[in-house]
Structure 1
């Protein structure tokens, strides 16, 4: 994994301008509502996905960004840009390479269509009728460049994909940047646990994931998808039940922990981004999830970025992170007079900042 050491965001979502430097392996983004925490996670997600050069991954991430806070047609597309700005740019440094990511709200689309991209007549007609919003995305890494053309259904699609993405054939950079981008909706949605179970199975990491789950829930024994009604349904084997029980009947704390353990165990040399990491947890569950994240990240060489409003989770991450000698950061974000600002402290330096957070997040 190439550690991301700095991040610069301009005119993306609610952030007019922000620069973060000296990032660590575990980065905890905190602050009041509307401080820009989720925008930081989303900016990283969309740019890492773009660098990977996989249309499917970028499509998944962009769809999540557009719909996670609610899909409301053309306004959702406009919300990718700060106020009336026409260009959003995201830059990050990983290793010794600067990766640049640019999204344009408007541009000479016909030049792109006549040059790099060849679309069928029906698609061109629908663009002309305003059925699709078209956003060009450019990713650069050193002398290399890749261009995406994102067609977004500007209405309220009842069927089919929200996004269609075309791209030039060249890769941005000859490396892989494995990415997992999670929201509370993902973790509790139907089918997600089956997906992350398959990730861990393919990487031969189920044993590692199960050991993490057992640390929080000693009664847990096994997790397995079983055929049922022409599909696969996840079942949980626990000591107190006479037979395996459906995963979806378990409590939200267990479900979130299981999904997190499988995700972090299946991801090696990559990036785990989590929005609202404290969702669905009681205090005991928070500690288990924090330890799972820290241990999994350390074992698998994963860089983590997460947002939280929970002082309890912050305290646990600081306590357990210092025990594990984790290179961690607390990123405290504030919005003042339209500007977004951030202070960054190492876990060792965060005690004084923690007192400020207590007053701010509880205020």
Structure 2
């Protein structure tokens, strides 16, 4: 599909207007809380996978019910516009609007036992190589029902990894199945070997039957442990490693991969990000608050001989809904960190 080279966003969450260009192979978003990092990752995901992306965004914030759908819009804006440009000059555009149920949809919802008056309606229209129209209905619990008008075109390879991916039952199992199906035993062995650098007693990872469910397990020297009761650090690391080891020529969107990570484990994650870009030709976008992770990425990138087009750091600031950014290429980031001892997060 080629790299995403530019992103324009209007009316999405805190972003009244945002425009970023000339993305690299690895793009690191840094900034204070509320500076738009997560919103940019979500906007990219929606642009690449309009229908699955919007459903994912509503789900990850769905605990707040109907307000989660309302909060997609900036202030009183009634329309969201997201547009990406790709390396070959093509583009994808997604428009999301506040909507109201049609007569046909009211009947379809009634057949499913749902009252349209108690649902929040969103219409979404995608143009470009991914094309289609749909209406989303969000219920008070945050669950999302999709009614398609039409859908066609290609599907871009894109994966979003965040706290919801780590904690939601089914997501780690799906990631494991995808890894084995697409990457084979080679990908699985690579993940195990990488984790063993920090967890020497780890022997295997596998989906096993437990409490009438198929659950991902980590097998150690003394027995198997269900993924969901393992430590937060190894869970985050495993999810990121499975995600970066499988795709090829895709886009990976990562929110704060440093969470719960010991510095040694963080180095493993940093190296896996660089590896997936170099060896799997994946483009990576990630948000972080960790100066250690930033420095690890920069230092390891230098050792690997990566160029300016391989890694960029975007320092973000949001003022009255308008996004501002200071961009550091790899060489500029190296100078800033090593010579000037700058904290690139500030």
Classify the TM-score, shorter chain.
Answer: 0.7 to 0.9
Stretches of structure 2 lacking an aligned partner (at least 5 in a row): none
Cα offset for 1:245?
A: 3.6
After the TM superposition, which residues 197-216 of structure 1 pair with which residues of structure 2 at under 5 Å, given as runs?
Answer: 197-216=176-195
Does residue 274 (structure 1) correspond to residue 249 (structure 2)? The answer is no
Q: How many residues align?
A: 336
After the TM superposition, which residues 85-100 of structure 1 pair with which residues of structure 2 at under 5 Å, given as runs?
Answer: 85-94=77-86, 95-100=88-93
The equivalent of 1:134 in structure 2 is 121
Contact 1:260 1:289 in 2 (8 A): yes
Give the Cα separation in 1 of the matches to 2:158 and 2:229.
29
Cα offset for 1:317?
A: 1.1
Cα offset for 1:72?
A: 2.1
Q: Quickly say closer, same or farther: Cα 1:129–1:165, change in 2 above 3 A.
A: closer
Contact 1:91 1:98 in 2 (8 A): yes
Give the Cα separation in 2 of the matches to 1:191 and 1:231.
10
Give the Cα separation in 2 of the matches to 1:231 and 1:71.
24
For structure 1, which segment, 37-46 or 344-353, has the greater mean C-alpha deviation from structure 2 after superposition? 344-353
Equivalent position SS for 1:32: coil
Give the Cα separation in 1 of the matches to 2:211 and 2:345.
50
Contact 1:127 1:134 in 2 (8 A): no
Give the structure-1-normalised TM-score: 0.83
The equivalent of 2:95 in structure 1 is 102
Contact 1:214 1:221 in 2 (8 A): no
Cα offset for 1:215?
A: 2.9
Write the deviation string for residues 143-193 of structure 1: whole angstroms up to 9, x where unpaired.
x8421111222x236xxxx1111223341x4x3311211112321343332
Contact 1:127 1:133 in 2 (8 A): no
After the TM superposition, which residues 348-359 of structure 1 pair with which residues of structure 2 at under 5 Å, given as runs?
Answer: 348-351=331-334, 354=337, 358=343
Q: Quickly say closer, same or farther: Cα 1:290–1:205, change in 2 above 3 A.
A: farther
Write the deviation string for residues 230-256 of structure 1: whole angstroms up to 9, x where unpaired.
322333233xx2333433443322222
- Correspondence for 1:148 among 126, 130, 134: 134
For structure 1, which segment, 329-338 or 85-94, has the greater mean C-alpha deviation from structure 2 after superposition? 329-338
Q: Quickly say closer, same or farther: Cα 1:129–1:71, change in 2 above 3 A.
A: same
The equivalent of 1:20 in structure 2 is 20
Give the Cα separation in 2 of the matches to 1:28 and 1:8.
17
Give the Cα separation in 1 of the matches to 2:188 and 2:277.
12
Give the Cα separation in 1 of the matches to 2:183 and 2:300.
27
Stretches of structure 1 lacking an aligned partner (at least 5 in a row): none
Q: Quickly say closer, same or farther: Cα 1:166–1:246, change in 2 above 3 A.
A: closer
Across the aligned residues of Structure 1 and Structure 2, the Cα RMSD in angstroms comes to 2.6
Cα offset for 1:310?
A: 0.6
Cα offset for 1:265?
A: 1.6
For structure 1, which segment, 16-25 or 268-277, has the greater mean C-alpha deviation from structure 2 after superposition? 268-277
Cα offset for 1:199?
A: 0.6
Give the structure-2-normalised TM-score: 0.87
Contact 1:210 1:261 in 2 (8 A): no
